[in-house]
Homo-oligomer: A and B are copies of this chain.
Amino acid sequence: MISSRYNPNQRVTVAVDCVIFGFDSEKLKLLLFKRKIDPFKGSWSLIGELIDNDVSLEDSANQILYKLSGLDNVYLRQLKTYGAVERDPLERVISVVYYSLIRIDEFNLKSTESHDAHWFDFEEIPELILDHGQMVKDAIRRLRLRARNRPIGFELLPEFFTLPQLQTLYESIYNTEFDSRNFRKKILSLGILNKTEKKDKSSSRKGAFLYQFKEKSLDNSSMNNGDFDKIREVIQF
């Protein structure tokens, strides 16, 4: 093994961990894993890997998700890097954490993984190893922050979805309830949705119209500040 040319004495291991959020049309969920190696084998944790020498941080995170699910191009953002000296008891490990938003309906765990993984409701998140609990708290806070300023969560829904579903998603993110009239007004005023003529009748007899995001608007549009603003940190995670 070759040591650093800049500093031969540095001994630091770098890992990437992923906070994976999903939405099943009713609740926002978090994907957790039973750790397969010691220390803490068998405890719940985020999924992660040590990085390879020739893979960027972002690609590392993408690879983790791809290996897990076969999904490519998932929504993935860097959250924060955790670098306390003693955070891992075995050796100095610095963890660069990403969070991702995925559509549970498109997400199929590879069978080898599936019995070691579980989607948790937020109220049921178990004790996590190391500082993973803090990572999850930070990720939720970030998700809320982002959802205030941008039409996030579109990554969490299937291509066609109803307004009640979208409202439920936002209610789930902020752990609160919205007035449906105001919610629809605001969302529709953004002009980023295409209404289709189809209805989804899976959750009511009347059926709700299906909408789709206008492709182009996804990247560009940022909602006015103040959107979905009434709600802030209703529950402290």
Interface positions of A (Cβ within 8 A of B): 1-15, 50-58, 78, 80-85, 90-94, 96, 148, 225-226, 229, 232
Contact = CB atoms under 8 A, between A and B. Distances in A.
A6 B91 CA distance: 8
A92 B50 contact: no
Given A12-B51, A90-B5, A84 B96 contact: no
Contact of A90 (B6, B10, B92): B6
A105 to B, nearest CB: 31
B11 A2 contact: yes
B12 A8 contact: no
Contacts of A226: 225-226, 229
A10 B78 contact: no
Contacts of A85: 54-56
Interface residue SS majority, chain A: loop
B12 A53 contact: yes
Nearest to A149: B145
Contact of A50 (B6, B52, B78, B80): B6
Nearest to A50: B7
Nearest to A8: B1
Copies in the complex: 2
Given A81-B96, A226-B225, A13 B10 contact: yes
A53 B11 contact: yes
Given A7-B50, A12-B51, A56-B83, 18 more contacts: A1-B3, A2-B11, A4-B11, A4-B13, A5-B90, A11-B53, A14-B14, A53-B92, A54-B85, A57-B81, A57-B83, A57-B94, A78-B80, A148-B225, A225-B225, A225-B229, A225-B232, A226-B229
Contact of A11 (B1, B9, B80, B90): B1
A6 B85 CA distance: 16
Given A83-B56, A225-B226, A50 B4 contact: yes
Contact of A53 (B3, B9, B53, B57): B9
Contacts of A8: 1
B11 A12 contact: no
A1 B9 contact: yes
A186 to B, nearest CB: 14
